Amino acid sequence: MNKLTIADLDVKGKRVLLRVDFNVPLDGNHQVSDDTRILAALPTIQYLLNGGARLIILSHLGRPRGKPAEAFSLRPVAEMLGNILQQQVFFSPALLGPVAQAAIDCLKDGDCLLMENVRFYPEEEKNDVQFSKELASLADVYVNDAFGTAHRAHASNEGVTRYFDNAACGLLIEKELSVLENLIKSPEAPFCAIIGGAKVKDKIHVIGNLLNKADEILIGGGMAYTFLHSQGKRIGNSILDGESTDLVAETFARAETLGKTVHLPTDHVVAESFSNDVPTRIVEDHIPDGYIGLDIGPKTIAHFLSVIGNAKTVFWNGPMGVFEMNHFQQGTFSIAEGLAASSAVTVVGGGDSVAAVNRINKAGKMTHISTGGGASLELLEGKKLPGIEALTEKKHGT
């Protein structure tokens, strides 16, 4: 990566506009119920505060659709961040205008101010030019550490960079890029990629790009049934992405040409309806009519774990079944356990996979937990991320 980082900046006494991803879940009392994303941004925040920055933090939360909504306010995040930092985190209920400017003018070196949800403004997702200029006018220096939104060209992470001499990445983005780009360029072999989830179209191009480096591809979740269908297997009433069957066939053909192995489930946990309250059974090979495949079966689990056990590098994105229901969670949790026990470099990306790892308290056993599901997939697909591309290039010799 040849972008400016915060190590290249002198921030003492300067107003630093920091874009983070504080899109955290809130409980019924409007309190933060999972601080994972706040903790992920903490190293950058602490680095800037210790350097004497006057820190102005921008984030989004939820999908307020361009209008203020108390349910999506970042005020409770300011309170939690203050508790974590053990210092007051000021909060501005406005992003622009006299109220916001007054809050910024009060900042001293080492102070921290969290602005209200940037998506309360429709101009944010439209990447509006004037809105970007107004955001830039709040500060002297810009830092982006919101990897989770790096695949979106929005005002607060792409448009705003045009109006700063220096736009740098934070420590989280630097780490994400280092880990994920290593998967593409120089993973230690054998490299195993585990891809799950429901929709083939969301992952098929990632699988195609991973075939360039991965030695083994394990396919689970709802998308596996389209792959099985293309191999002539009966899948009963399981999910089928009929529009992606040609792409699946191309993937198999390319894997064969490259000498790579695509592993599919050989047994399944099935039920007659998409429910946790109906009887389940385990079937091998074909799924009978009237049944839905909702998790990988024990033979598949054992086989997948044996492949993982031989790997030196593992990337996992997407659950193996409907793990939100306890009858269909064994496959996903077994994969998480397998990665936790592995001595390989283990990288987990995607909201559901990360949630599963957190559910069984194994996040600390992984080499890296990616904070950006969509961003990590697009990077692994070979796409450029607008929020990264917009950052300032390092000058030769810097």
- 3 Cβ contact list (under 8 Å, min separation 6): 168, 169, 388, 391, 392, 393, 394
Report the distance separating Cα 147 and Cα 22, nearest Å: 11
Report the distance separating Cα 104 and Cα 82, nearest Å: 17
Our answer to whether residue 318 is catalytic in this structure is no
Which of 299, 359, 374, 383 is catalytic? The answer is 374
What does 170-233 look like in DSSP terms, one character per residue? -HHHHHHHHHHHHHHH-PPSSEEEEE-SS-HHHHHHHHHHHTTT-SEEEE-STTHHHHHHHTT-
Which of 15, 75, 133, 199 is catalytic? The answer is 199
Our answer to whether residue 374 is catalytic in this structure is yes
What the block records as the tokens of 135 is 């955001």
- 279 Cβ contact list (under 8 Å, min separation 6): 271, 272
Residue (of 16, 34, 313) closest to 169 by Cα position = 16
Provide the Cα torsion 39, 53, 385, 58; round to 10°: 70
Residue (of 219, 369, 373, 240) closest to 296 by Cα position = 219
Residue (of 194, 182, 60) closest to 122 by Cα position = 60
Our answer to whether residue 37 is catalytic in this structure is yes
Residue (of 286, 7, 351) closest to 148 by Cα position = 351
What does 383-394 look like in DSSP terms, one character per residue? PPPHHHHTSPBP
Which of 62, 351, 383, 394 is catalytic? The answer is 351
What is the enclosing helix (H) or strand (E) of 284?
strand 280-284
What does 198-216 look like in DSSP terms, one character per residue? S-HHHHHHHHHHHTTT-SE
Helices and strands counted in the chain (H then E): 14, 15
Report the distance separating Cα 244 and Cα 241, nearest Å: 6
Our answer to whether residue 199 is catalytic in this structure is yes
User: What are the backbone angles phi and psi of residue 245, rounded to the nearest 5°?
Assistant: -60, -35
Report the distance separating Cα 29 and Cα 33, nearest Å: 10
Report the distance separating Cα 375 and Cα 383, nearest Å: 9
Which of 37, 175, 203, 233 is catalytic? The answer is 37
Residues with catalytic function: 37, 199, 351, 374
